[in-house]
Amino acid sequence: MNILVIGSGGREHALGWKLRQSKQCGKLFFAPGNGGTASIGKNVSLNADRVDTKTVDAIDYFCRHNDVGLVVVGPEDPLAGGLVDRLEQMQSRHGGDKVPRVVFGPVQAAARLEGDKAFAKKLMRAASIPTAEARIFTDAQAALAYVKNRETPVVVKAAGLAKGKGVIVCDDSDQAEAAVRTIMIDRAFGDAGDTIVVEERLIGQELSVLALVDGRNIFVLDPAQDHKQLGEGDTGPNTGGMGAYCPTPLISDKLMGQIQREILVPMVDTLRREGIIYRGVLYAGLMLTAGGPKVLEFNCRFGDPETQALMMRLKGDLVQIMLATMQGRLDEVDLSWNRRCCCCVVMASGGYPGSYEKGKPITGIDEANGLDGVQVFHAGTALKNDQVVTAGGRVLNVCALGSDLADAQERANAACEHIRFDGAYFRRDIGYRVMKVKQ
Ligand code: AMP
Ligand code: GLY
């Protein structure tokens, strides 16, 4: 089966790497891909960040002419824009394709769970899913008046998609007022900030719980934790993620059962009552508070960089798993985990998450890949005259399997030492929080 993966990050490289291992995988294409995906498949110059007629026509045409049987949509923007629905509509309009096409990911109405935080909050309330107390505002003055008088810290969130940057965690009411102004008056995230969610600031460890949902069955994947802050010891500004590890001992089987029963199942059921059938990955970003796990956000896709750590450990055939998810047959597939632990360290460009330079030549990736248990996924790279160069803020995801987290972290850090590019930065302490607890 020929496969097209939409996206260009480390998540897409990791998904492609795992899909490639399937006996069923024929030609593998990435749209647009990166410097790493080019070595396991073919990059095609299609970009699906905006889902308009031109993009949909181009992807549909490509799929028909290359006998693509599976399209995997990685990032949130095309999902929120309805790419899954549109590609399915095109298929039924043309009919009679040689190869029937499965598109992996939720439909637009379901992807709204990530693309509209106010909608998600309302659904969580309706389903009594534990989450931070929140108020929703569409009027800046009303929001300012509300945060002015709050005595406890809040988090101000643009309701729409803002490339992961639309959440401002505030210490006091001055910061909260500034956050409301940034989002609603300065419109730092454009239309995404027309509506905001102001919620209580929760305290605890964060955890990512991803599940495959086939409309009926839910299969919860091993829990992962990512490190969003730039500096070691979780200091400095928030980023798209500086590293992740999986599994995490933070959580018992009993707690995982509770998360499935009280959070994932009720959300899928509530959507169904709204007439929305969820198929794809449902990702709950959680805070483990003193009062139990509470939802910070739902995402409608694989997490980045959690997926890199998950794919390193996943046993089973990802092509079959994805087809089964979209065809309501999850109960038929074999899905288990390598017992080893994975640590994924993000190597970033100097200056990230602020401004940074691109085009720096990268060396040492092959040496790192040669180390036992190590796999380097590319995130923000490109090929320039056959040389891999930096092309983004988060450049590489250096993953290592180890007997335990400390071993995996040591191996990943050692692999990073082999890789060089001008201004390279990475955290050496991914996973430190739970390693401290264990000691
Ligand atoms: P989100 O995109 O909603 O997950 O928010 C991004 C990050 O902001 C989360 O990973 C948390 O670190 C932080 N955050 C979001 N909501 C809260 C909250 N209610 N309390 C504390 N931190 C939060
Ligand atoms: N790792 C956080 C996310 O994918 O949203």
Give me the pLDDT at residue 438, please.
Answer: 55
Q: What tens digit of pLDDT does each residue of 127-171 get? A: 999 999 999 999 999 999 999 989 999 999 999 999 888 999 999
Q: How many whole angstroms from 303 Cα to the centroid of ligand 2?
A: 4
370 shares its domain with 419? yes
Name the closest-CA residue to atom 3, ligand 2: 303
Q: Is the pLDDT of residue 72 over 90?
A: yes
186 shares its domain with 211? no
Taking residues 11-39, what's their average pLDDT? 97
Average per-residue pLDDT for the chain: 95
The residue to mutate among 169, 201, 202, having the most atoms of ligand 1 within 8 angstroms of its beta carbon, is 169
CATH of the domain at 367: 3.30.470.20
Residue 115 in any domain: the answer is no
352 shares its domain with 271? yes
Give the residue numbers spanning the domain of 155: 139-194
232 alpha carbon, distance to own chain's centre: 22
Residue 8 in any domain: the answer is yes
Domain boundary pick from 155, 174, 194: 194
Residue 131 in any domain: the answer is no
Residue 121 in any domain: the answer is no
Q: Is the pLDDT of residue 439 over 70?
A: no
187 shares its domain with 270? no
- Distance separating alpha carbons of residues 78 and 108, to the nearest angstrom: 9
- Distance separating alpha carbons of residues 222 and 41, to the nearest angstrom: 28
**255 is written with which tokens?**
């707690």
244 shares its domain with 292? yes
Residue 117 in any domain: the answer is no
Q: What tens digit of pLDDT does each residue of 164-222 get? A: 889 999 999 999 999 999 999 999 999 999 999 999 999 999 999 999 999 999 999 99
Residue 47 in any domain: the answer is yes
Domain boundary pick from 59, 79, 105: 105
344 shares its domain with 219? yes
360 shares its domain with 421? yes
- Distance separating alpha carbons of residues 346 and 248, to the nearest angstrom: 18
308 shares its domain with 221? yes
Q: How many whole angstroms from 305 Cα to the centroid of ligand 2?
A: 7
Tally of structural domains, the chain: 3
Give me the pLDDT at residue 168, please.
Answer: 92
Q: Side by side, which strands form the sheet with 341-348? A: 225-226, 243-246, 341-348, 394-402, 374-378
Q: What tens digit of pLDDT does each residue of 274-313 get? A: 999 999 999 999 999 999 999 999 999 999 999 999 999 9
Domain boundary pick from 88, 105, 122: 105
What pTM does this model have?
0.96
Run of H or E residues at 65: helix 53-65
422 shares its domain with 287? yes
